[in-house]
Amino acid sequence: MTEISARGAASRLQRELEEGALKTELFGTAPAAEADAPAVPAPETYLAHLEFTGRGAEYFRIWVVNLLLTLLTLGVYSAWAKVRKARWFARHTRLMGDAFDYHGDPLRILLGRVLGLALLLGYSYAFLWSTTAGLLMFGLLYAAGPLLFASAQRFRLGNTSWRGLRFGFDAPWQAVYKVCLPLLILWTVSTLVIELELGNAAMWASLALTALGLPWAHARLKQLQHAHARYGDQTFSFAPAQAQFYGLYAAAFGLLLLGGLLAGLIVGLIAFVGGAQWAKGAVSQVLTGFGVMLILWLVIWPYFAARTQRIVWGHTRLGDIDFAGEMQAGPLWRLALKQTLLVLLTAGLSWPFAAVALARYRVQAIALRASQPLEGVVIVAAAASDKGAAGDASADLFGLDLGW
């Protein structure tokens, strides 16, 4: 009995002892039963990254021509400039060796921009005409805004293709209003309180409502965008991410406080060195305001953009394909700081190089994963649509298309 117990204890010790020289010296090689046990193979994962092949010098030539022709035509050429830019960036974005393409119609975009400009002017100045005109303009914005957003999504995706197949957006109008209308209200409620002179209590309440509701509305907007997008006849899906968006906004608010403190210290130091007269000058106040905004942007934007990409693409699927966003705030912050300094030092001439550098990092941080070869994913083409340019241009002017 004692011998059996000793053998049992030795066997347990052999199993529990880590592999190494001591175990080999005490017990020799592993028992045949263990050595011959077949290993369970890990499931194979197929991975692909988007690739961006554009170069700053090439885009610089396109940017200069676009800028000059837009100025010479008093903005009319901006629609053609938008198409040239979008097509260049799409054709230099590749997946598994094949490039994307963009097929937007400049004339439709131009008509949409005229409509968007009219709505923007009405939104900005309606209350200067009368309270009734302002309320009517806000009502028009709430009624038309969701339609313009959906139209913008259809136009952008419907005019983007890969391997000859178009993307698309098929959200029902009820879902569009259910998601976009609360977001529009959150964006404009503070402006409405100011214009109607409802007082400080209403202003603080509107700010609190926006702060509490914006992460929820942003998460729902991303879910609407991705869950109703399609490639060919395959529809994307998006897992709810409200909790992650609240965490994102909470961290961004902390960075906002940190950036405000940093900006205040720098402004105070400059004012101390420059004296009271410098601090009161109009030019100095403009430069100070620009500097504060620049500091806040550099502190907050890299984290917000990187974290948003990871949340959004980490919750997105296309059939058996998982997506992943791999942007990191640190590298993006260093890239943004470097490019911002270059843009300032060159009086804006290095902007095309900055745009290409940021696009390369953003695009190449998106990965696709699947349990089968990605080349074997068969997708049937669906009918393409070129409608919705009005919404595309209007969304540009009102800033309805959030994030990456």
At residue 398, the pLDDT reads 43
At residue 388, the pLDDT reads 57
Q: Any idea which of 40-54, 69-83, 197-211, 331-345 has the lowest mean pLDDT?
A: 40-54
At residue 15, the pLDDT reads 57
At residue 376, the pLDDT reads 66
Q: Any idea which of 220-224, 249-253, 383-387 has the lowest mean pLDDT?
A: 383-387
Residue 285 has pLDDT above 80, yes or no: no
At residue 16, the pLDDT reads 57
At residue 68, the pLDDT reads 97
At residue 334, the pLDDT reads 96
Overall average pLDDT of the 100-119 stretch:
88
**How far is CA 373 from its chain centroid?**
28
At residue 291, the pLDDT reads 81
CA distance 368 to 325: 9
At residue 400, the pLDDT reads 34
3-state secondary structure of 186: helix
397 pLDDT tier (thresholds 50, 70, 90)? very low
At residue 45, the pLDDT reads 76
Length of the chain: 404
- Please calculate the CA angle 400-172-390 and round it to the nearest 5 degrees: 45
Overall average pLDDT of the 108-132 stretch:
87
55 pLDDT tier (thresholds 50, 70, 90)? very high
Overall average pLDDT of the 285-296 stretch:
80
CA distance 278 to 254: 31
At residue 12, the pLDDT reads 56
Residue 297 has pLDDT above 80, yes or no: yes
What sign does the CA torsion over 97, 99, 100, 103 have?
negative
CA distance 341 to 343: 5
401 pLDDT tier (thresholds 50, 70, 90)? very low
Give the helix, strand, coil percentages of the chain, each rounded to 5. 70, 10, 20
CA-CA-CA-CA torsion for 146, 149, 150, 153, nearest 10 degrees? -170
Overall average pLDDT of the 225-232 stretch:
94
Give Dmax over CA atoms of the chain in angstroms.
102
Residue 242 has pLDDT above 90, yes or no: yes
Query: Which is more confident, 343 or 9?
Result: 343
Overall average pLDDT of the 354-365 stretch:
97
Is 225:153 a contact under the CB 8 Å cutoff?
yes
pLDDT in tens, 57-97: 999 999 999 999 999 999 999 999 999 999 999 999 999 99
At residue 381, the pLDDT reads 47
Q: Any idea which of 216-225, 353-362, 385-394 has the lowest mean pLDDT?
A: 385-394
Residue 149 has pLDDT above 70, yes or no: yes
Residue 310 has pLDDT above 70, yes or no: yes
At residue 33, the pLDDT reads 44
32 pLDDT tier (thresholds 50, 70, 90)? very low
Mean pLDDT of the chain, nearest integer: 84
Could you give the percent of the chain with pLDDT greater than 90?
59
CA distance 272 to 265: 10
Residue 104 has pLDDT above 50, yes or no: yes
Is 239:222 a contact under the CB 8 Å cutoff?
no
Q: Tell which residue, 401, 331, 381, 345, has the closest CA to residue 163.
A: 381
CA distance 255 to 242: 20
CA-CA-CA-CA torsion for 387, 393, 394, 397, nearest 10 degrees? 170
Specify the residue for token string 């997506």: 323
